[in-house]
């Protein structure tokens, strides 16, 4: 039997194993318990949920800061409060960095920032998505301006990566001050209720400056940003669900702007009829219905991921699949504000269109829009320039674009919602469509105002003229007769028409004029 002398100096391999175990376990069991007591997972537990089992390869695990002063020289933990590396999600490479709140509260210092810069550069070079798991207390005050410069490097790389690789920010703790701008520069922001907050100035500063009293969640919690500010795209009750949805989103996105989104096999027949649509959508243009149910009926297995679901609800933006191919769907929602376009809806849809165009995701636009929302507040708020954002996004998009008018499409809103005149590759309409400058009642009141006022029975004449206007200019085939609609289709055949059209457009190639970049309306 071999006797091991326990007094023998540890081998280099044993030293390495001990150091790495120390880096993985973090500062102390007590710190881990404190993190769990807040209802939060540790950085490594979050990475394990995000990535395929056993796929994580850590980078610069043994990095430590070099700062001195304020006691920092006596506290130099491995990782410096951020875990960085890469792994796979459903077999595809994904880069990740995760703040470790147990170390310096996840605050960013020079070494911490350098690690993030490196992993961002690696993601851009490799052409793979970047996911940040954010749980940090902002800049490390003890390191002064060096920490602030670290944020600048992150912002610069966020901008460089924009439209090149998907960038996803997952907010799992506090994010205050300048740190909040990095998530704002990324493609998607996820938040967890009660445990994550984002704001530029916290409640104490707000109270000192304005006298307003508000809690952290009231100022910058998940529900606030999902419903009011629009900063957050997705909000969930717990970290596990949140991170599972990040994995699902990644399955719908390409690795980079040089690839197409992943296509999967579908057991939902491409030629499936949707007779239920005839009952879902009322022929009466004044009756509301739920456009989400229309989308559910059209897409593969009724499965789609709505982006910004709780903000600007009068328009729907969703990722889904048609015959296994990922598409971006933009649709008016008649159930909210009759589906009108307003400032928020225009901004929401414009950014979604830009995202889809950047990552080669075809666009399907479903129209049922009565126009832009009238009102002093909208005009003074800049509805002209905000509406122009959506117009610019569509006009600038080179991906396959298909539009479908379900019922009404009036005025400038019809033009803006990817009409044929601004470059839609194919424009379809249902037999219930009404495409016009405005509704028949409004148009009649403008065109025949004097005749109606002078009539013995104004209401009877108005009703007659409305009927005549509809028959002359708003019948279902008016636009088709003038080539503004490629076909009027049976609603039940919509799914198969869209799939065949997307198959034809799969090889579409379009070039924009040479330029450094455009100057979109702000």
Asked about 411 being catalytic, the answer comes back as no
Q: How far is CA 350 from CA 47, 218, 397, 432, in A?
A: 32, 28, 11, 27
Q: How far is CA 32 from CA 63, 127, 302, 349, in A?
A: 20, 34, 41, 41
Neighbours of 295 (CB within 10 A): 20
Asked about 302 being catalytic, the answer comes back as no
Q: Going along 257-400, which residue ranges are E strands? A: 304-307, 315-322, 325-332, 363-369
Neighbours of 61 (CB within 10 A): 15
Asked whether the beta carbons of 404 and 327 are under 8 A apart, the reply is no
CA distance 149 to 129: 24
Q: Please choose, from the candidates 425, 438, 318, 296, the residue with its C-alpha nearest in 3D space to the C-alpha of residue 369.
A: 438
CA distance 33 to 385: 50
Asked about 412 being catalytic, the answer comes back as yes
Burial of 92 (0-12, 13-18, 19+ CB in 10 A): middle
Partner residues linked to 488 by β-bridges: 429
Q: How far is CA 251 from CA 170, 190, 254, 325, 505, in A?
A: 16, 16, 8, 12, 22
CA distance 501 to 234: 31
Task: Kindly state the tokens that stand for 112.
Answer: 């911490």
Catalytic entry in 230, 412, 423, 442? 412
Q: How far is CA 415 from CA 367, 419, 427, 436, 488, in A?
A: 11, 5, 12, 10, 18
Neighbours of 266 (CB within 10 A): 16
Asked about 177 being catalytic, the answer comes back as yes
Q: Which residues contact 63 (CB under 8 A, 6 or more apart)?
A: 78, 79, 80, 111, 114, 115
Asked whether the beta carbons of 310 and 227 are under 8 A apart, the reply is yes
CA distance 266 to 257: 24
Catalytic entry in 163, 178, 230, 442? 178
CA distance 414 to 424: 12
Catalytic entry in 105, 153, 163, 177? 177
> Which run of H or E residues covers position 219?
helix 216-220
Cα angle at 58 between 56 and 60, to 5 degrees? 175
Catalytic entry in 147, 413, 427, 479? 413
Question: Which residues are tagged catalytic?
Answer: 177-178, 412-413
């Amino acid at each position: 039997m071999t006797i091991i002398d326990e007094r023998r100096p540890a081998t280099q391999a044993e030293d390495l194993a001990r150091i790495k175990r120390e880096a993985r376990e973090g500062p102390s069991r007590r710190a881990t318990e404190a993190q769990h007591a807040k209802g939060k997972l540790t950085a490594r537990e979050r990475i394990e949920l995000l990535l395929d089992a056993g796929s994580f390869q850590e980078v610069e695990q043994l990095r430590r800061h070099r700062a001195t002063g304020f006691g920092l020289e006596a506290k130099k933990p491995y990782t410096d409060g951020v875990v960085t590396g890469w792994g796979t999600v459903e077999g595809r490479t994904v880069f990740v960095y995760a703040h470790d709140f147990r170390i310096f509260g996840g605050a960013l210092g020079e070494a911490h920032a350098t690690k993030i810069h490196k992993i961002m550069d690696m993601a851009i070079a490799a052409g793979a998505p970047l996911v940040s798991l954010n749980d940090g207390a902002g800049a490390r005050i003890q390191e002064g301006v060096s920490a602030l410069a670290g944020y600048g490097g992150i912002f610069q790389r966020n901008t460089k990566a924009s439209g090149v690789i998907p960038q996803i920010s997952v907010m799992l703790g506090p994010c205050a001050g300048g740190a909040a701008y990095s998530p704002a520069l990324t493609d998607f922001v996820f938040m967890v209720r009660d445990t994550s907050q984002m704001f530029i100035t916290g409640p104490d500063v707000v109270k000192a400056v304005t006298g307003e009293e508000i809690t952290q969640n009231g100022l910058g919690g998940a529900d606030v940003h999902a419903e009011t500010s629009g900063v957050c795209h997705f909000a969930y009750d717990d970290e596990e669900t949140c991170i599972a949805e990040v994995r699902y989103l990644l399955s719908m996105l390409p690795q980079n702007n040089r690839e197409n989104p992943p296509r999967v096999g579908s057991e939902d027949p491409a030629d499936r009829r949707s007779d239920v649509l005839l009952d879902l959508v009322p022929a009466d243009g004044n009756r509301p219905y739920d456009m989400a149910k229309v989308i559910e009926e059209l897409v593969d297995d009724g499965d789609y991921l709505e982006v910004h679901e709780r903000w600007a609800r009068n328009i729907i933006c969703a990722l889904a699949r048609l015959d296994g191919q990922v598409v971006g769907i933009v649709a008016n929602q008649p159930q909210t504000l009759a589906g009108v376009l307003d400032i928020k809806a225009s901004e929401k849809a414009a950014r979604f269109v830009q995202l889809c165009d950047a990552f080669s995701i075809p666009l399907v636009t479903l129209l049922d829009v009565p126009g832009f929302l009238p009102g002093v507040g909208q005009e003074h708020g800049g509805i002209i320039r905000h509406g122009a954002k959506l117009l610019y996004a569509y006009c600038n998009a080179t991906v396959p674009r298909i539009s479908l008018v379900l019922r009404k499409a009036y005025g400038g809103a019809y033009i803006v919602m990817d009409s044929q005149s601004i470059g839609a590759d194919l424009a379809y309409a249902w037999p219930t469509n009404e495409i016009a400058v405005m509704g028949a009642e409004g148009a009649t009141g403008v065109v025949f105002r004097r005749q109606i006022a002078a009539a013995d029975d104004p209401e009877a004449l108005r009703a007659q003229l409305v009927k005549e206007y509809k028959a002359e200019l708003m019948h279902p085939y008016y636009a088709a007769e003038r080539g503004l609609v490629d076909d009027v289709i049976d609603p039940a055949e919509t799914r198969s028409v869209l799939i065949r059209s997307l198959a034809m457009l799969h090889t579409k190639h379009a070039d924009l004029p040479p330029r450094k970049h455009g100057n979109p309306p702000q």
